[in-house]
Chain A
């Protein structure tokens, strides 16, 4: 894992001291709310529906046991004993008091964490594939790139007042688990077919929200050493020409859409040619220094398959089901990447109590080389687990209510906090997720349905990624009540696609039945081992629309 050097340490500590002073000036009246708001937002402090909210950056979703234990402590001491993991792989506390926040930031700095750039019109927390460094389909670990971008973008003077927020994601694998096509910039490490050098495929202009767009490729093979200069060229074109008159049209996706991808590319290439690359690009020694932090841990030499694991699975069907659902093949023989579901039936997706955080921190230290990951799907990953240790981990997770065998299944729902917490929300998300989970709680039925991603947002801003859910649910207000619009066919992978609306919105209580009808169409019409999304691709929207509209019209 990356460790702060003296510059990182001093930078974060100075920022805490600065914010402590800003809070005290706000409290003594020297700063008005209008003056203070942009300052607090730059430090991750929002004012939400019931209280302040603090958003803590988890760079590229990577945490150590010590860091997660510190988050547990903060949750217990300054909040209500739980936190919420978000689709940006950050952690949010829902109830901090403004007067306590400088102390919380000090506790975070003690474990090399902060809240800088988790809000505001700047480059936000850079995310990466949650199986970075361990996935079998990976060409190269994306985290050194993500860390380089974190350092480059932190308080970058030119990019601190962008037209709007800006999100970057990186993957080094064939299969996109980082939703790179729904980011302002998406980077994919790939090999050049002729030179065989590792390059970046650069996509720009993806994004969800009010105007969802899939990112367009602007460079197929960007040489790795040119990364910062090329990104700086993109940022400059955006900063100069992105709209500032209308916040809904201020994202780079709108600029790319309005001038067209070819013209956007031309302007970026022009700027890139003008830039003094060597002065912008990172020193190769610095790149090597960063990369060294992400060297694989010292794996034991183990057989490909653990006999202990196979024997335990044979004697315990529930355990076997969990292993089948929640583990991912690992580069190192005898190891696995374990996803811990934060979607137990009936709980808020992505929430974890301080006790649960401590348990996962212990497990990371004991069984996963002191490393864990946060996924954009609001789950946690122990990336380096010996297969033979899975049973012990499963037992401990079970005692804490964290052994749900549902990763990728219909109850592994992404949901934003929605109107239960969020001041921007137009409808609730969490109770909708809970009702769907209850409806599909049966393990066997979930397995029968197979992979199916439901994603729920409580407003048009789409923090719950509903546009790219196989089934997306958007909560809106319609004539003074909550109404839910359902979309179908979205995908968040390398086949990224925006889902299409099935029909009129339905009331909260009718959502589970609507989902049921959609699933029934799939179960009756699927061919062979076809997954839900494969069936949707083959069948098109029509049969699903017809089934959905029966529900919509029955309740209209």
Chain B
């Protein structure tokens, strides 16, 4: 699973599948500034410039190499209501869940704590 893919237009977020569970995870900044994974797309760190995107790419490469995640890649986003939303519908599905089962996936709050749960269209 190669990490090196063409960088999409910015702003962008980094998403991947957790190796153990397969869940979609997003790179975010911990309180100390270090990059960690979150299951909540609302907390995804948005890279608005090249240095920030390079940092996410380096994190992706590291996390793939150390077997924490699979299929990690940058996704271009729009900022809607202060939150990053993938511009392409395919990746939007990844931040939500199956559209025929609103009771499943991130749209149902799976893996997302109640306070940060967002409502997405």
Contact = CB atoms under 8 A, between A and B. Distances in A.
A480 interface: yes
A29 B70 contact: no
B1 A34 contact: yes
A184 B71 CA distance: 31
B100 A420 contact: yes
Interface string B54-98: 000000000010110011000000000000000111100110011
Contacts of A27: 19-20, 67
A107 B104 CA distance: 25
Contacts of A34: 1
A386 interface: no
Interface stretch (B5-13, B21-29, B42-50, B112-120): B21-29
Contacts of B99: 420, 428, 430-431
B67 A52 contact: no
Interface of B is mostly: loop
Contacts of A431: 99-100
Given A26-B67, A47-B70, A99 B20 contact: yes
Interface string A33-53: 110010000000001111110
Given A34-B1, A50-B94, A428-B99, A97 B104 contact: no
Contacts of B100: 348, 420, 430-431, 434
Contacts of A482: 89
A495 to B, nearest CB: 33
B105 interface: yes
Interface in A23-71: 26-27, 29, 32-34, 37, 47-52
B93 A419 contact: yes
A435 to B, nearest CB: 11
A98 B98 CA distance: 20
A480 B88 CA distance: 7
A307 interface: no
Nearest to A428: B99
A50 B97 contact: yes
Nearest to B24: A50
Interface in B13-39: 17, 19-24
B92 to A, nearest CB: 10
B21 A98 contact: yes
Given A32-B67, A95-B22, 10 more contacts: A27-B19, A27-B67, A47-B70, A50-B22, A50-B23, A95-B104, A98-B19, A420-B99, A420-B100, A428-B99
8 closest Cβ pairs, A-B complex: A420-B98, A51-B22, A52-B22, A33-B1, A29-B67, A430-B100, A97-B21, A33-B70
Interface of A: 26-27, 29, 32-34, 37, 47-52, 80, 94-99, 348, 419-421, 428, 430-431, 434, 480-482
